[in-house]
Every structure is written in C-alpha cells, then in structure tokens.
Amino acid sequence: MNKYDTFVNPLTERYACEEIQHIFSPQKKFSTWRKLWVALAEAEKELGLPITDEQIDEMKSNINNIDFEYAKEMEKKFRHDVMAHVLTFGKVAPKAMPIIHLGATSAYVGDNSDLIIMKEALLHIRKKMINLIYNLRNFALKYKDLPTLGFTHYQPAQLTTVGKRASLWLQDFMLDFDELEYVIENLRFRGVKGTTGTQASFMKLFENNSEKVKKLDEIVSKKMGFDKVLKITGQTYTRKQDTKVLSLLAKIAESAHKMATDVRLLQNLKEIEEPFEKTQIGSSAMAYKRNPMRSERVCALARHVITLSLNPYMTHATQWFERTLDDSANRRITIPESFMGVDAILNLLINITDGMVVYEKMIERHIKQELPFMATENIIMEAVKKGADRQEMHEIIRVHSMEAGKKVKLDGMENDLLERLINDKRIPLDENEIKSLLNPKDFIGRAPEQVVEFINEEVDPVIEKYRNELGVSVEIKV
C-alpha cells in the first residue's frame, strides 16, 4: 500500500502549516516525555537521591534519538505506551534505565507533555492572531472614511463605513486575543503528583520528607517553563483545563466564521472580494465565476473547531474520581485537530486580509440606490425650515417613496425618488439644495472617529507589545 491507499487527515494534508503539525508530531511528543524524565532525574538528584551525572548526561544525549519502530513493538507487547517508551529510552540510555520514570506515573509524562505542547501551540496561535489583527487594523484605517450601506436583517440600513465594519470583525478578534493571553498566562502544570495525586510514591522515595517532595514538584515545573502549578490533582490534571483551551479556540473560530460570512455576502454584492489568483478557476462549469472559496473554507473549518469544543466538556464531566481512561482516545483527536483547524483558519484570514479588494464604485452605486429613501427625513426638515407644512411634506414624500419603490421592485427600474422630489414644485427646495442633503458622509455619524479611537486605545498597544511577532508568511496549499 502506498500513501494514497489509506486515509490522510485533510488538516495535515491540505490545511494546517508545518509548524503546528510539528508541535503535535510524535517526535515532539516523545522527545518532550524524555525531557520530563531528565528534569525529574535532575531534580531528584538535586534533592539527594543517588542519581549520577553520567546517567543524566546519557539521557540528555538521547532525547531526540527515538526508535519509533521499537517503541511500537513494545507497546504492542505490553499494551502500555508509557512503558513502551521507558524501555525504548532505556535501550539507548542503559546506564540511566534504572532511574528513568523513578516514582512517576504515566500521567507525569502524558499530562505534563500535553500541557507543554498546548502552551507552545497557543503561542503559535498568538503569533498568527497578532498578524491577522495587524492586517485588519490597517484595512480598517484605510477605509475608515469610505461610506457603505449598513445592513440589519440583511436589509439596507443607515450608512456605516467599510473601515467601521472591519472594526467589528477586529473587535471580535481582540476579545478573543484578550482571552488567549489569559489562558496562556494561567495554564497550570500538573507537576509531580504521583499515581492518584497524593505524591505517596515520592514520599516513599524521600523517606517522608514532605518539604523535599513539595520542592520536587516546584523544581520540575520551573524546569519545564511553568510558574503556575495545580496544587491539587487526581492521577491527571483537571480536564477543565482542556475545556478552557478548546473553548478559546472555538471562540476564535466563531469570530472567523462571522467575518468570513460577511465577506462572502459582500462578494455577492460585488463590494468586497477576497484575493483571486490569475489562474484560479471559480467553477468547472461557469467560467465567469469568482467564488469566495477561502472564506467558505474558513466557515467549514470553523464549524469543525466549534463542534470539537463540545468534547472536553463531556470528557471532564465523565471522569470518575481520580481518573478514567475514556478521555485518552478522545483527547488524542480533539486537541490537535482544534489547534490545526484554527491555524488553518488564521492562515486563510491572513491571506484574505493581505489582498482584499474593495470596489468603491459598486459601493457608491448601492448607496445611490438607497440613500434617497434614507434622506427623506432630512428633506422634510429642510422644507419645514422654508415654511412648508410638515404633515403635507411627509405625505408628498411618502407617496413618492412608495411609487419609487414600486418602480424598483416591480419593474426592475432604477430608484427615481430623487428625480421625483426635485421635480415636485410643492417641495420648496431646488435641485442643489436637495442634492446637498444626500452627501453620504453626512450619514456615517462618528464611524471614522470610532475606528481611530478603537485602534489607538485598544489595538495599537497590543500590536506594539507583540511587534516582534509580526511578519509571518502563510502558504495556502490549495
């Protein structure tokens, strides 16, 4: 069988970048196990156990020297992945074999590695997010003054600006980014807790010296890059931590789905378009089509990530007492797929926002079709200022509005309300006076100022904080 004869996960084959795939690779996972075994041995030696520098050096020199085929044989034989890798490590570090995994339970390497890998993956997501935020910031500022139809219920509403609408997307991602920072800062290590979390095995090793056992937990956690450690665990860390992480990823996906849906709708209106490559084919049948395929893919992947976030809630809810193993198979799938799904989503959105096209003339055309209706109240007010009766003006304009609406909806004609009002001599305003009331920029309120204030006060400080993470290069494989 070749690789085309078996299933390949599309997340790795088509969507996620190599960096996030490496973070969840077997090499990364099992080399992290070995780093944890080294950290444990170093801490135990530091606290007085008879472990030699030679044993530790032997372990260190073989951290990445992993015989995966031998590990598979051992796991098949013993039906235990951790013991399989203890034996695989011991094969290349025979002097250290007697002290590898000393006092620990499987969750020591399994759970702590998951936390180390998730933290690294969160930092990777942070880098991608800050680049998306930067792109949206620039787009919002560029188009902060450009009036466009607002939509409520997907019906034309009061004007907004293209930049203000982009700020709505940006604000969603900023809220997600706030939570991302919180989760990174507060992800807690499991540490060195023993079989059921009581540290009994380590108490035995250190002859009931509680202070040494407590110190062991602190030393190992710091060696592995964690200042915050769970004080209490069962055999595993509380699976609520998985819920917190995957819930965050689902929120990023939620924001992405909303933005991508807006882009898809705007592309239908021919107002905004995602990048379309010179040789790209929109449809195998309809040669003229320019489908928003990147935005559609964002929505597809976002739904997958959102549904995956249900798993940790159910997994934690069904963990019995100190732990059950029905979390394992589920977590092997849902955690990596959630991260790879969000990585793919962010790659797509960075690509879209790098080259999003705005068709200003089409936006202007749509405004002209609707603005006369929106300006009717202003026209009434100006007519009253010139001595007209408010109720009479209201009725005249109402009738014209209904007739113009019929022309548009029933006859497929252009909106002729403006011409009707200019030509009605009962309205005491001339053509220039009426047209002066239809300047789109008079209908956008404080939208431009809102964009500038939001970016200056909330977005730019975050960008400045992470400026060294700007400039990622993303590749869309298909």
- The set of catalytic residues is 153, 283
143 and 165 Cβ atoms separated by less than 8 Å: no
> Would you tell me how many other CB atoms lie within 10 Å of the CB of residue 57?
14
Our CA angle for 265, 435, 146, nearest 5°, is 35
Please report where in the chains the tokens 């005491």 appear, as a residue: 428
Q: Dihedral of CA 211/212/213/215: which sign?
A: positive
- Reduced to 3 states, what is the DSSP secondary structure of residue 284? coil
Residue 8 burial by Cβ neighbours in a 10 Å radius (0-12, 13-18, 19+): exposed
Residues 6+ apart with CB under 8 A from 475: 17, 347
Which strand (E) or helix (H) includes residue 436?
Answer: helix 431-436
Q: Among residues 289, 307, 290, 302, which one has the least CA distance to residue 261?
A: 302
**DSSP line for 6-44:** S---HIIIIIS-HHHHHHTSHHHHHHHHHHHHHHHHHHH
91 and 58 Cβ atoms separated by less than 8 Å: no
For residue 399, give the DSSP letter.
H
Amino acid at 179: E
For residue 229, give the DSSP letter.
B
Residues 6+ apart with CB under 8 A from 44: 51, 99, 102, 103, 205, 216
- Reduced to 3 states, what is the DSSP secondary structure of residue 177? helix
62 and 163 Cβ atoms separated by less than 8 Å: no
- Reduced to 3 states, what is the DSSP secondary structure of residue 47? coil
d(CA 30, CA 34): 6
- Reduced to 3 states, what is the DSSP secondary structure of residue 158? strand
CA of 475: how far to CAs of 171, 293, 345, in Å?
25, 15, 12
Written as six digits, the tokens of 274 are 């995602």
**CA-only gyration radius of the chain, Å:** 31
d(CA 293, CA 301): 12
**DSSP line for 386-423:** TT--HHHHHHHHHHHHHHHHHHHHTT-----HHHHHHH
